[in-house]
DNA sequence: CAACGCGTTAAGAGCGCTCTCTCGACTTTT
DNA sequence: AAAAGTCGAGAGAGCGCTCTTAACGCGTTG
């Protein structure tokens, strides 16, 4: 059977196309009895409005984009993105939108696809994640009038964003370690040119400073959030005998644990370890990892919520949101 | 500035709307000199055709859906899906389509969203993954005329699908263990009502049978592919003293390794372990995991390719594709 | 030189929907 | 009881595009 149109449904219900349209859009000015008749026909026939026709005239597609830039493509296996996508999906469901994913694997791809993404009117708005300050993709999107929400502090003013309180979390980690009287606290950070990397470093330094402690350069090492990079970074730190380490991701913390154990040292007796993320793999680690749990899924749904608000009320109405992180105390520190 | 239309571009180039349309769609019958003039205007103005208007008339949206049913939502953090999504995305890029994600968290959601997914004409086709035989969502989609490709053997006849050769992989694992003279080979399987679960079990049994060995019931245990479930399943097997174990996922293999080590036994001396997946976490395990590497990303892009072929040539033209898996020999077996 | 064919372009219709405008029927007001 | 307002529903326009059809110039042919 060919697909039904509004006109067909109207004919079947003995009303005009306009009336059926009104019923579907829950508009007023339809007698309850007529409405019921139309609804009956709709549910019997299984009529579903044509999305393209609808958005052609309404300029709304019910589609939001989630943009994941190329520089994280190798990190995409990190559960972070899975959770984020789950959060965004569930947020999208709330506002009866669907999610389209823009996953770039090279900067070249970013350049090519961008006009199509942005200009075709195919999207109601986009969420850009894993930004690095000055990311060109974000800058380009921001330059258009496509509604935009960033996940993580964007490098550009005036862009609404959701972030977790990386700074407070790292601060908390430092305080926790100092209160337990660890005196040589090391740090394994994420990439320095990311807001997440910067904030977790800054928060940790501040937290130590609260106790009059500094973070010497030789107790800092950096990775890319992955377990392998944590292992390598820990090797560096080991030369300077820390008695505790705060890693800016659970993955790196796990790498660090492995490195420490490979050195024949035990956790937390010789070196305490704290991670950041709160993923399941932190629970089942040996020893279970003390970590700062960030609400990843909530970040995703919050971003959708903000986007929805912008779509409704305009972008002036929204403020950045900073979601709290929580210290989970387990055996590793 | 308001968005340009074909008409505007035509006016700027001194031609009609139709000609501009022809240029954009690379149709014949446009004089090179006119084409150049139009293209110049397009690139100067940054004109991008309106997606909704386009698909209203052409009945093509350039959007394909990836459906991930509810029963795996708790497994979504498994790198499998990340890789699959990467594969699908890159396949979609090849055919200049975009990917929309349908991620369900409950069966109720599956029911509600399904008409919208399927009937609105919003999708050119869908890829349904992680199917269980008789999955109602798949059945429902198959009943419509929306082009469909399954990932993993679907329970329904006539549906084109891509799968990895689970059976041959498991067969290979059995042969590998028997050739190394392990005599009490245990099995940790996935959910029994999944095609993946079934095939890996059947292949393993066949492989053992090749050497005249049976797989007794007390050397079989089942999990849900997750690490925790592997740990639990291994506990059961331990009571029946296997000297080798084949786990139907790397996650479960890692859980099994942990369980074996917790029992004070060593790998592979006391018990050999083989996994299935070939994910990075298998490499960095202690000991590194021997496993069957399946081409997940390729599975995703292959599925898109098949869908594209169906879109072009009709669904009669495609045959199921079974992608090979590869034994990666490491220290655990 | 009229008739024809061909390549190139314009004009027009129409995809399925939303939204404004209008009109008719009915209710309220004075 | 007539004028005014209110509500319900239909007719029509038009969103921006593709595709069919028609027209137009030009060279070729009998």
Asked, for residue A332, whether it belongs to a domain, the answer is no
Q: How many residues does the structure list for chain B?
A: 333
Between A156 and A289, name the one with better pLDDT: A289
How much of chain B exceeds pLDDT 70, in percent? Answer: 99
Asked, for residue A288, whether it belongs to a domain, the answer is yes
Cβ-based contacts of B55 with chain A (< 8 Å): 52
Nearest-5° Cα angle at A252, B87 to B327:
45
Span A268-274, mean pLDDT?
97
Interchain proximity A52–B56, CB inside 8 Å: yes
| Token couple for B254 | 């890692």
Round and report the angstrom distance from CA (A275) to C1' (C14). Answer: 61
User: Is there a domain that residue A304 lies in?
Assistant: yes
Whether residue A303 is found in the same domain as residue A285: no
The DSSP secondary structure of B138-197, one letter per residue, reads: HHHHHHSSS-EEEES--SSTT--EEEE-HHHHHHHHHHHHHHTT--SEEEEE--TTSHHH
Residues A157 and A170 in one domain: no
- Is there a contact between B26 and B32 (Cβ–Cβ < 8 Å)? no
Output the average pLDDT for chain A. 92
Summarize the confidence of residues B58-67 as an average pLDDT.
Answer: 94
Q: What tens digit of pLDDT does each residue of A102-120 get?
A: 998 888 888 877 777 788 8
pLDDT, position A18:
92
Q: Let me know if residue B328 belongs to a domain.
A: no
Judged against a pLDDT cut of 60, whether residue B25 lies above it is answered with yes
B276-279 CB contacts, 8 Å cutoff, 24+ apart: B276/B166, B276/B169, B276/B170, B276/B173, B276/B200, B276/B246, B276/B247, B276/B248, B276/B249, B276/B250, B276/B325, B277/B79, B277/B80, B277/B249, B277/B250, B277/B251, B278/B250, B278/B325, B278/B326, B278/B328, B279/A77, B279/B79, B279/B80, B279/B250
Nearest-by-Cβ selection for B52 from A3, A52, A286:
A52
Clarify whether residues A230 and A82 are in a common domain.
no
Mean pLDDT across the stretch B80-91? 94
Are A303 and A273 in a shared domain? no
> B279 contacts in A (CB within 8 Å)?
77
Share of chain B above pLDDT 90, in %: 71
- Per residue in A22-71, pLDDT (tens digit) is 999 988 888 889 999 999 999 999 999 999 999 999 999 999 999 998 77
Percent of chain A residues past pLDDT 70, beyond the cut:
99
Structure tokens at A15: 């009303």
With cut-offs at 50, 70 and 90, classify the pLDDT of residue B309.
very high
Whether residue A73 is predicted with pLDDT greater than 90 in this model: the reply is: no
What's residue B118's pLDDT?
80
How far apart (Å, rounded) are the C-alpha atoms in residues A243 and B73?
39
- When pLDDT is cut at 50, 70 and 90, the band that residue A1 belongs to is low
CATH classification of the domain holding A303: 3.40.50.2300
> Using CA of residue B13, residue B15, residue B20, residue B23, what is the dihedral sign?
negative
C1'-nearest nucleotide to the CA of A22: C18
Q: Does A29 touch chain B (CB under 8 A)?
A: no
**Predicted local confidence at residue B1, as pLDDT:** 57
Are B21 and B115 contained in the same domain?
A: no
What distances in angstroms separate CA B182 from CA B132, B176, B177, B282, B291, one per listed residue? 33, 9, 6, 21, 16
User: Chain A: nearest CA to B71, how far in angstroms?
Assistant: 14
Which of the four pLDDT bands, split at 50, 70 and 90, describes residue A213?
very high
| Yes or no, beta carbons of B119 and A79 under 8 Å apart | no
Provide, in whole angstroms, the distance separating residue B31's CA from nucleotide C2's C1'. 29
Chain B window 215-244: which residues touch A at a Cβ cutoff of 8 Å?
Answer: 227-228
Nucleotide nearest to B47 (CA to C1'): D16
Flag whether residue A1 sits within 8 Å of chain B, measured between CB atoms.
Answer: no
- Its domain, for residue A94, covers 63-164+297-322
How many domains would you assign to chain B? 3
A164: enclosing H helix or E strand? strand A161-164
pLDDT band of A97, cuts 50, 70, 90: very high
B56:A61 CB<8 A:
no
B309 touching A (Cβ < 8 Å): no
pLDDT at B205: 98
Same domain, A122 and A148: yes
The reply to whether A174 falls in a domain is yes
Nucleotides of strand D within 7 Å of the protein's CB atoms: 7-12, 14-20
Chain A residues whose beta carbon lies within 8 Å of the beta carbon of residue B98:
100-102, 122
Please tell me the predicted confidence (pLDDT) of residue A136: 81
How many Å does it take to go from CA A22 to C1' D8?
11
What are the tokens at B14? 């001194």
Residue A327, domain member (yes or no): no
Residue A90 in contact with partner chain B when CB distance is under 8 A: yes
Maximum average pLDDT range among A72-81, A171-180, B28-37: A171-180
A108 and A182 co-located in one domain: no
Sheet bearing B326-328, strands edge to edge: B220-222, B185-189, B244-247, B272-277, B290-293, B326-328
Q: Facing residues of B169 across strands?
A: none
Collect all residues with Cβ–Cβ distance below 8 Å to B301 and sequence separation of at least 6: B87, B88, B90, B91, B94
The pLDDT assigned to B193 comes to 84
Question: Residue B33 belongs to a domain with what CATH number?
Answer: 1.10.260.40
CA B289, CA B322: separation in Å to the nearest integer? 24
Please give the share of chain A, as a percent, with pLDDT higher than 90: 75
Phi, psi of B126 (to 5 degrees): -135, 155
For residue A320, pLDDT over 70 is answered with: yes
B203 and B273 in a common domain: yes
Please report the number of interchain residue pairs, chain A to chain B, with beta-carbon separation below 8 angstroms: 116
Pairing verdict, β B185-189 and B244-247:
parallel
Contact A146/B at CB under 8 A: no
Does residue B260 carry a pLDDT above 70? yes
Chain segment B105-151, per-residue pLDDT in tens: 888 888 877 777 788 889 999 999 977 777 788 888 888 889 999 99
B173 shares a domain with B137: no
Judge whether A330 lies within some domain.
no
CA distance B324 to chain A (A): 22
| Contact (Cβ atoms closer than 8 angstroms) between residue A230 and residue A251 | yes
**Same domain as B276, residue B175:** yes
Distance CA A119, CA A128 (A): 16
* Residue contact A120–B90, C-beta within 8 A: no
Are B165 and B324 spatial neighbours (Cβ–Cβ below 8 Å)? yes
Q: Is the domain of B143 the same as that of B239?
A: no
Interface residue A301 vs chain B (CB under 8 A): no
Query: B243 vs B170, B179, B240, B296, CA distance in Å?
Result: 17, 13, 10, 30
Please give, rounded to a whole number of angstroms, the shortest distance from the CA of A74 to a CA of chain B: 10
Is the CB of A63 less than 8 angstroms away from the CB of B100? yes
For residue B221, the 8-state DSSP code is: E
């Amino acid at each position: 059977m060919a697909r039904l149109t509004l006109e067909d449904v109207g004919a079947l219900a003995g009303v005009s196309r306009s009336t059926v349209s009104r019923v579907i859009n829950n508009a007023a000015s339809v007698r309850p009895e007529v409405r019921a008749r139309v609804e009956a026909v709709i549910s019997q026939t299984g009529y579903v409005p044509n999305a393209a026709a609808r958005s052609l005239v309404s300029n709304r597609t019910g589609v939001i984009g989630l943009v994941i830039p190329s520089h994280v493509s190798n990190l995409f296996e990190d559960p972070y993105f899975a959770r984020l996508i789950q959060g965004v999906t569930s947020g999208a469901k709330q506002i009866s939108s669907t999610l389209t994913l823009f996953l770039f694997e090279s900067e070249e791809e970013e350049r090519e696809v961008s006009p199509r993404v942005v200009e075709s009117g195919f999207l109601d708005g986009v969420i850009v994640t894993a930004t690095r300050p000055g990311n060109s993709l974000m800058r380009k999107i921001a330059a258009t009038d496509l509604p935009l929400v960033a996940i993580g502090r964007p490098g550009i003013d005036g862009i609404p964003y959701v972030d977790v309180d990386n700074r407070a979390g790292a601060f908390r980690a430092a305080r926790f370690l100092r209160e337990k009287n660890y005196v040589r606290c090391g740090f394994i950070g994420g990439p320095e040119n990311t807001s997440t990397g910067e904030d977790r470093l800054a928060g940790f330094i501040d937290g130590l400073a609260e106790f009059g402690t500094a973070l010497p350069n030789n107790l800092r090492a950096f990775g890319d959030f992955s377990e392998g990079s944590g292992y390598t970074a820990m090797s560096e730190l080991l030369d300077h005998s820390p008695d505790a380490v705060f890693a800016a991701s659970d993955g790196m913390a796990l790498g660090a644990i492995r490195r420490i154990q490979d050195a024949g040292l035990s956790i937390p007796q010789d070196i305490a370890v704290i991670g950041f993320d709160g993923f399941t793999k932190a629970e089942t680690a040996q020893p279970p990892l003390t970590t700062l749990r960030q609400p990843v899924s909530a970040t995703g749904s919050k971003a959708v919520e903000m986007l929805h608000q912008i779509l409704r009320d305009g972008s002036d109405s929204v403020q950045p949101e900073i979601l709290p992180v929580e210290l989970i105390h387990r055996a590793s520190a």
